[in-house]
């Protein structure tokens, strides 16, 4: 029995790992036939949400998506492969890592396109935040991602405080000069 069948138990990373493959069509691309960055972010969000749904078995909303570098272009007709894993569950939020590759349909080569970390928040039917099941990392890679996710959470929190102070300082300057 998969550990995700019992809501009381800690979940394994393998319980919620998710994968999506998309063929890139003209509607997904810019005027040069390359996948649009925003469209790639959409696919990343959807794949990450699948893992978050499977881990929490409730509704989730995207709270944040970290910095993304677009490392390699994706062309019309290519296959885009996305894989998502939950890195760590907190109280009502969880961090999911998503990695995307492009596969050339004719020669089957695969290249890394982009990676991102997303934070999802679990909510119930009425939009109230709900506690998420614990994550139990098993392999060395899962344990490393679990530890790193806490560092990234602290970094996000520090950034949020810094941005808030910056906004307050700007508002004070605006008030003093108006
Ligand atoms: C995400 C959201 C539910 C957080 O609500 P909030 O009242 O700010 O929540 P809190 O500050 O109490 O934080 C709740 C949890 O979310 C996390 N969180 C909130 N904002 C976050 C952010 N910007 N990045 C990462 N985590 C965040 C907190 O760390 C906390 O996690 P924990 O319970 O595991 O400790 C709320 O901002 C929201 O509904 N945003 C819109 C979501 C949405 O529509 N997404 C789709 C994109 S348009």
Domain count along the chain = 1
Dig out the tokens for 72 from the structure.
């390699």
* Alpha-carbon dihedral angle through residues 41, 153, 135, 84, given to the nearest 10 degrees: 20
Q: What is the pLDDT of residue 6?
A: 55
Q: Say how many Å lie between the CA of residue 23 and the centre of ligand 1.
A: 32
Please name which of 95, 81, 101 lies closest in space to residue 154, comparing C-alpha atoms: 95
Identify the segments of the chain with pLDDT beneath 70.
1-8
Please tell me if the CB atom of residue 65 comes closer than 6 angstroms to any atom of ligand 1: no
Pocket mutation for ligand 1, best pick of 42, 55, 93, 157 (most atoms within 8 Å of C-beta): 93
Distance CA 131, CA 135 (A): 12
Q: 86 CB less than 6 Å from ligand 1?
A: no
The CATH number assigned to the domain holding 65 equals: 3.10.129.10
What is the pLDDT, as a whole number, of residue 110? 94
Which of the 8 DSSP states describes residue 29?
A: B
Query: Residue of the nearest CA to atom 40 in ligand 1?
Result: 63
Q: What pLDDT shows up at residue 1?
A: 35
41 CB less than 6 Å from ligand 1? no
Contact 50, 44 (CB under 8 A): no
pTM score, whole prediction = 0.93
Residue-range definition of the domain harbouring residue 153: 3-177
* Per-residue pLDDT, 108: 84
Q: Is the CB of 62 under 6 A from ligand 1?
A: yes
**102-154: per-residue pLDDT in tens?**
998 888 899 999 999 999 999 999 999 999 999 999 999 999 999 999 999 99
């Amino acid at each position: 029995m998969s550990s995700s069948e019992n809501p009381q138990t800690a979940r394994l990373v393998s319980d919620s790992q998710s994968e999506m493959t998309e063929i890139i069509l003209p509607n997904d691309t810019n005027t040069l036939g390359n996948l649009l960055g925003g469209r790639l972010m959409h696919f990343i969000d959807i794949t990450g949400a699948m893992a978050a749904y499977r881990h929490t078995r409730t509704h989730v909303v995207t709270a944040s998506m970290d910095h993304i570098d677009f490392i390699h272009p994706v062309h019309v007709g290519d296959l885009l492969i996305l894989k998502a894993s939950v890195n760590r569950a907190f109280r009502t939020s969880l961090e999911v890592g998503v990695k995307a590759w492009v596969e050339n349909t004719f020669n089957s080569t695969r290249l890394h396109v982009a990676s991102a970390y997303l934070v999802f928040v679990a909510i119930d039917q009425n939009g109230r935040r709900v506690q998420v099941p614990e994550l139990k990392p098993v392999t060395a890679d899962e344990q490393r991602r679990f530890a790193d996710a806490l560092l990234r959470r602290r970094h996000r929190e520090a950034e949020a405080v810094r941005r808030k102070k910056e906004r307050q300082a700007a508002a004070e300057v605006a008030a003093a000069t108006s």
